[in-house]
Amino acid sequence: MSNFEDIDKIFREKCSAKTIQSNEHGFFTSFCFTVINSFKSDQEFQDWLKNYFAKCESDYEKIQFLYNDPTVSWEILGTLEHVAEVFRKKDSMFSWQKREQVLKLVKAYDEGRGQVPLDKVLILASQAVMRAPMKDDDRDIDNGLTLALALLQRAEVFYRMNNGVYALKDLQLAVKCGLPVKTNAEYYAKLSKVYALINEDKKADISINLYHKLIADDFRRDVLIREVDALKSKIKSGDIKPFQDSQKRLPPLKEHPSKSSKLERCTSTCIKLQESPDAGRYFVANGEIQVGETVLVEKALGACLYPKNFGTHCYHCFVRLIAPIGCTSCASIAFCSVECRDAALSTYHKFECKYLDLLIGSGMSILCHIALRIIMKQGTPEKALEEGENVKKIFCSHDSMRNLEDFFRRCLMSTFLLRVLQKSEFFGRRTTESAEPTPNEMKIGGLIFAYLQSLQFNAHEIYEKLTTGHLFSKSKLNYIGVGIYEVGAMFNHECYPSITRYFSGDTLILNTIRPHADNEVVAENYGPIFTKMSLKERQRSLASRYWFKCACKPCKENWPVYERMSNKSRIKCSTDGCDGFLPYPQDRNKNVKCPKCKNVVSLQVQMGFIDEAENQFYDAAEAMEAEDVSKAIYCLKSGIESFHKGALPPHKDLHIAEESFSACIGTNGNIFSIKDQ
């Protein structure tokens, strides 16, 4: 604890508390109060922690002690007995009401009276879809067709938005959800127009023929043909412009499947893992690395959306929603596709579905949800325990630095999360309703407790880039969730990072933003960057959030923030093999003596590298203003590499360039364009 003697202890404890309970108004606060209040005084509680709870050595023993010690077990078990399903249910009446609203708005739109924009109408149509029960739900007021009719209605809205792709998806899904089509001529009329909208002319003609077979009316068939032909003509002439998806769709990024270990599958061969007593595990360059190299592509071990994004992003893959699909049971979350829905329901969501609102209502942090998610994804307790042993070897928990009350609260939260697993039948159908765990359940409880300690220091906040006009000047990061990455967590922190991160869905991608020499540390950044935060502020933030004292170069040398930084950087010695440097010269034509190798050297070549870098940075700025990302990346890459050949940071323009390069690379990840506000 000596490294933290000068750190604000209260601030560190508050930071730690937020990683287990983000909302103090949740009922977990009452749970803690009830248990602690079973002691006569706070001092008695502290003595109990010190004299009894602290004597339990392992995570398993600590959580077992809470269930067995008569001082607290009665209150804990009594509270856990009341854990029950709490979730937002489907509502066919609500869905019908939304459909009626959409019907009136679409009719007004067709008659030229529409005052509500179609994108707002689409929201209402999606609400009808999300709240509609499945066809086998006996509460359905439409004889099992509520969902199918809601999808059919939303397809109408998509059609009017010239979005044939999503209109077709909804029409096809409506059939799978029970919409009768064998005698439904109007269905094929709609289908023909949608196919025409997406330039599937042959399929449009087939749909017209099916329509004609069902109605046997040449006149009505000819009317439909004229409508479809007029639609085709408008598309070819450009009078109708197909719907433009405002979200950039990315090709799936894959790990290397041929490699045997997770580490090898995710990382590039240009980096290698090392370990030391002081720094733990960390990555270094396996030879020289250029700017812009991808060093990691890793799917999250576990990732959860923030609840505020349940209605805007796919619960499973984190992509922005356009035509949301609901869970088959609850109405709390949404998926981008049937595939994502089924993937979630076949693993973790089948356990959490009916307890999701209860979990959120507890006030627990998103890290608690991820701890559950990692376990639920494994499907069985046996697989969860096996995975847990691997994970615990990777992630640090700083258990020697944690105070007893923090241990206690995490342990108590573990009992609640374990109870949810019990009630959701993660362990199979139980023979008792008692909250007291079996030995096998207790092992999972110990694993949850271990996760609640280690995930605190190993999480990455997942984000997307929101643009409201210009790709760079009018954009901001929108944090949508949190993910845990086994390999990504092994990159150590520096306040001057050498790599940048972005996300494709919940997949983490790391790219270099400056060149690396052989065996040079490849460093991530955990939040505080030296250009924007002073040394004292960074040290306080890192020590409070991650419990370590940073000893990177900017911290050791106390590099200035942007406002105090100049472009007069230190110049590298031009002697081969010398790593010495000289101050920025007043006269670049004058030879100077290197203080390290003692040679008299010319600085003209090095100054030329800096000049070339500055020219490239200027060209990159113009390219970014023109939103020419490819050119900006080329110029920034060349400029950054030129600078590092001749000089050493800090250098104001260099760091602006490296951040600009990070912004350009980030356009390959999650990005969403919205209208100017």
Q: Which residue, among 394, 489, 485, 413, has the nearest Cα to 452 in the 3D structure?
A: 413
Dihedral pair phi/psi, residue 248, rounded to 5°:
-75, 120
**Distance (Å, whole) CA 475 – CA 490:** 30
Whether 270 shows a pLDDT value over 70: the answer reads yes
**Distance (Å, whole) CA 560 – CA 486:** 33
Residue 394's pLDDT band (cuts 50, 70, 90): confident
- Residue 242 confidence (pLDDT): 67
Please give the distance of CA 634 from its chain centroid, rounded to a whole number.
28
Whether 2 shows a pLDDT value over 70: the answer reads no
Mean pLDDT score, 578-584? 93
- Residue 1 confidence (pLDDT): 37
Q: Which H/E stretch holds residue 218?
A: helix 218-237
**Distance (Å, whole) CA 179 – CA 147:** 9
Contact 532, 562 (CB under 8 A): yes
Residues 6+ apart with CB under 8 A from 318: 303, 305, 462, 480, 481, 503, 505, 506, 670
- Residue 400 confidence (pLDDT): 83
Contact 27, 363 (CB under 8 A): yes
What the block records as the tokens of 122 is: 């689409």
Residue 259's pLDDT band (cuts 50, 70, 90): low
Whether 453 shows a pLDDT value over 90: the answer reads yes
Residues 6+ apart with CB under 8 A from 31: 79, 412, 416
Whether 677 shows a pLDDT value over 90: the answer reads no
Q: Which residue, among 464, 502, 459, 504, has the nearest Cα to 482 in the 3D structure?
A: 459
**Distance (Å, whole) CA 96 – CA 92:** 6
| Bridge partners for 130 per DSSP | none
* Mean pLDDT of the residues in the chain: 92
pLDDT digits (tens, 9 = 90+) for 39-88: 999 999 999 999 999 999 999 999 999 999 999 999 999 999 999 999 99
Tell me the CATH architecture of domain 562-673: Alpha Horseshoe (1.25)
- The DSSP line for 365-378 is -HHHHHHHHHHHHH
Mean pLDDT score, 627-635? 97
pLDDT digits (tens, 9 = 90+) for 505-536: 999 999 999 999 999 999 999 989 999 999 99
Whether 552 shows a pLDDT value over 50: the answer reads yes
Whether 676 shows a pLDDT value over 60: the answer reads no
Residues, the chain, total?
Answer: 677
Lookup result for tokens 């001529």: 185
pLDDT digits (tens, 9 = 90+) for 212-256: 999 988 999 999 999 999 998 988 888 887 666 555 544 445 555
Q: Under CATH, which number does the domain 263-298+485-557 receive?
A: 2.170.270.10
**Distance (Å, whole) CA 503 – CA 313:** 14
What the block records as the tokens of 116 is: 């509500």
- Using CB atoms within 10 A of its CB, is residue 165 exposed (0-12), middle (13-18) or buried (19+)? middle
- Residue 29 confidence (pLDDT): 94
pLDDT digits (tens, 9 = 90+) for 344-372: 999 999 999 999 999 999 999 999 999 99
The conformation of residue 455, written as its DSSP 8-state character, comes to G
Tell me the CATH architecture of domain 92-237: Alpha Horseshoe (1.25)
- Residue 257 confidence (pLDDT): 57
The conformation of residue 294, written as its DSSP 8-state character, comes to E
**Distance (Å, whole) CA 212 – CA 142:** 28
For Cα atoms 354, 359, 407, give the angle at the middle one, nearest 5 degrees.
140
- Residue 114 confidence (pLDDT): 78
Residues of the chain with CATH 1.25.40.10: 92-237
- Residue 205 confidence (pLDDT): 94
Residues 6+ apart with CB under 8 A from 220: none
- Residue 4 confidence (pLDDT): 44
Whether 593 shows a pLDDT value over 90: the answer reads yes
Q: Among positive and negative, which fits the CA dihedral 49, 52, 54, 59?
A: negative
Residues of the chain with CATH 2.170.270.10: 263-298+485-557
What share of the chain in percent tops pLDDT 90?
Answer: 81
pLDDT digits (tens, 9 = 90+) for 150-208: 999 999 999 999 999 999 999 999 999 999 998 899 999 999 999 999 989 999 999 99
